[in-house]
């Protein structure tokens, strides 16, 4: 079987894509690849100056929308800004995230990693849903991680208020939430008879700056560790495949061939990530926490 690489990306002329966390790493590389295939790409970033530098690399057609996923107000404002520019979104890549950061809260009081990695993207998808469903066959791609495998959700303590905070467990939980969200979104899209599809992907061990922000021992170990990981141009391919491969289908999960590295292949999520009851409950909790309704 031939490997799926950048040469397999189909022509995307006329397609509109939005990528969160597009100022660096996987988000930037994903944006470069989508734009290189002809897509109009909107870089959704928190830091304006870094986004402008990224846009210069993506190309002259790259656009920027500012969004802080740690603020539901900012997420709502960014969704309105996007809606004022485009009438549809063919590709929505939910990539931005934090890993193993020091304990903190979002502006709305959520545990930072769960709040940004999951709830911020849930709210953004809710805000952009009219644009996604207006496209002929849109794809929403949730970027998870190998870290979803040890992840566990405690619905009685999603914000780690009752348990000891150790920086990694909230990250693992948020990455599990990404997959549960992707699966439930796909079920609801099918139930509603909509053409859009929800898929997920993970990059394996890829050399990015993710995990460098915290002050723990493991954060320090991660900083030089990028040299041992695969390059971003390979790590981004599972995301791009999920977003563009004509043969990909809703509900699928793509990752590196050898789990840690390699070209993208279809992968099976953990058993917990395939728990339909947990996915439905997470959806309900996400609607309650954000005050937003996303599909019936």
Angle at 219 between CA 214 and CA 222, to 5 degrees: 140
**Cα four-point dihedral sign 142, 145, 267, 276:** negative
The answer to whether 75 and 123 have CB atoms below 8 angstroms apart is yes
Query: How far is Cα of residue 263 from the mean position of the Cα atoms in its chain?
Result: 19
The answer to whether 177 and 94 have CB atoms below 8 angstroms apart is no
The reply to whether 165 belongs to the active site is no
Q: Measure the CA–CA gap between 196 and 81, rounded to whole angstroms.
A: 22
The H or E element containing residue 65 is strand 63-66
Q: Which of 165, 171, 258, 263 is catalytic?
A: 171
Coil vs helix vs strand at 218: helix
Catalytic residue IDs: 171
């Amino acid at each position: 079987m031939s490997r799926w690489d950048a040469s397999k990306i189909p022509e995307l002329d006329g397609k509109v894509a939005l990528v969160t966390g597009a100022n660096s790493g996987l988000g930037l590389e994903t944006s470069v690849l989508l734009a290189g295939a002809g897509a109009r790409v909107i870089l959704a970033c928190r830091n304006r100056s870094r986004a402008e530098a990224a846009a210069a690399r993506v190309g002259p057609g790259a656009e920027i929308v500012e969004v802080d996923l740690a603020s539901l107000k900012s997420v709502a404002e960014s969704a309105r800004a996007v809606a004022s520019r485009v009438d549809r979104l063919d590709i929505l890549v939910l990539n931005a995230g934090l890993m193993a950061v020091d304990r903190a809260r979002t502006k709305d009081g959520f545990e930072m990693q769960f709040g940004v990695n999951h709830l911020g993207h849930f709210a953004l998808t809710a805000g952009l849903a009219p644009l996604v469903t207006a496209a002929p066959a849109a794809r929403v791609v949730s970027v998870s991680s190998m870290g979803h495998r040890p992840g566990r959700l405690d619905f009685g303590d999603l914000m780690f208020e009752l348990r000891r905070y150790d920086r990694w467990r909230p990250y693992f939980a948020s990455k599990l939430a990404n997959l549960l969200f992707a699966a439930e979104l796909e079920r609801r899209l099918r139930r509603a008879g909509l053409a859009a599809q929800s898929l997920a992907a993970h990059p394996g061990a890829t050399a990015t700056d993710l995990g460098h922000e915290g002050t723990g021992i493991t954060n320090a170990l991660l900083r030089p560790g990028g040299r041992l990981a695969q390059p971003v141009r390979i790590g981004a391919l599972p995301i791009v495949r999920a977003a563009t491969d004509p043969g990909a289908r809703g509900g699928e999960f793509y990752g590196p061939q050898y789990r840690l590295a390699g070209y993208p292949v279809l992968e099976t999520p953990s058993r917990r990530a395939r728990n339909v009851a947990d996915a439905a409950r997470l959806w309900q909790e996400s609607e309650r926490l954000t005050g937003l309704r996303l599909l019936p």
